[in-house]
Amino acid sequence: MAFNEKYEQFMESQQEDFFVDTDSLYGNREKLEQTVESINGKKYSKNRGNPILVSKLGEGKYYVVDGNHRALEYAHEGRKRVRVSLFDYKQDIEEDKTLILDPVPVTEFIDMIKGDIEESKIPNSVPRYLYYSTYKQMLPTIKRDGGLKVGSFLKRSYKEALDDAELVENLDQDWKDNIIVFKINTGKLNHKRFEVDNNDDPSEYSYQDVVPTGCLVRNG
């Protein structure tokens, strides 16, 4: 089966996603350089909600088959872990060595990106800073997942976020005594992934992507 045909079949199938360390992502040097030029030219990924498609290079190493834009943007934002889908095309690689050439770490290209790649993408309706409340007991999960889960609701103010955590019913007092509020700079997020109510002054925003740990600053 030709590589392109196998790839199309894979994309149409239901695959199980998982998280890997950003440092474990590798890519083709020429393609990554082209992607850096594209990002510096203000051409960003249109598929931020999708996992990065990878193939396993070896123990703890993954080659980006599809998603160089996402991989570089996430690395630039400071994400420690990213969501991927595994596409095993080892046989294709053995038959056509050009499929993987000169694999290099994606993170080596972060410094080539000029400025804040998301700065110009903040919509006027989304405040510069939003807040998210959780509990100390949840920090290991957030760290493991590389940030806040897809669909997390972010509040306009510290107080609104704090109230959310305090008003949860049937929760042990030990949890309520360990509330943490994160302050999030929306300039580091993709505004196309926000879902906002039609109200003139909405109190919360749903972010349809992972909010990376690099964007989370403890505010209380």
Tally of CA atoms within 13 A in the half-sphere of 142 that contains its CB: 20
65-87 pLDDT per residue, tens: 888 998 998 888 778 888 888 87
Query: Given this model, what pLDDT does residue 14 score?
Result: 46
Query: Given this model, what pLDDT does residue 157 score?
Result: 84
CATH topology of domain 3-117: 3.90.1530
Is the CB of residue 100 less than 8 Å from the CB of residue 14?
A: no
Answering whether pTM is above 0.75, one says: no
Residue 2 clears pLDDT 80, i.e. is over it: no
Q: The domain 120-218 is classified under which CATH number: 3.20.170.30, 3.55.40.20, 3.20.20.80, 3.40.50.300? A: 3.20.170.30
Domains 3-117 and 120-218 alike in fold: no
Residue extents of the structural domains in the chain:
3-117, 120-218
For the chain, the first-to-last Cα distance in angstroms comes to: 56
153-208 pLDDT per residue, tens: 898 888 889 988 888 877 888 888 899 999 998 878 887 788 765 444 456 788 88
Query: Given this model, what pLDDT does residue 122 score?
Result: 40
Enumerate residues 6+ apart whose C-beta is below 8 A from 188: 77, 78, 116, 118, 212, 214, 215
30-64 pLDDT per residue, tens: 889 999 998 888 787 766 667 888 888 878 889 89
Within 10 Å of residue 121's Cβ, how many Cβ atoms?
17
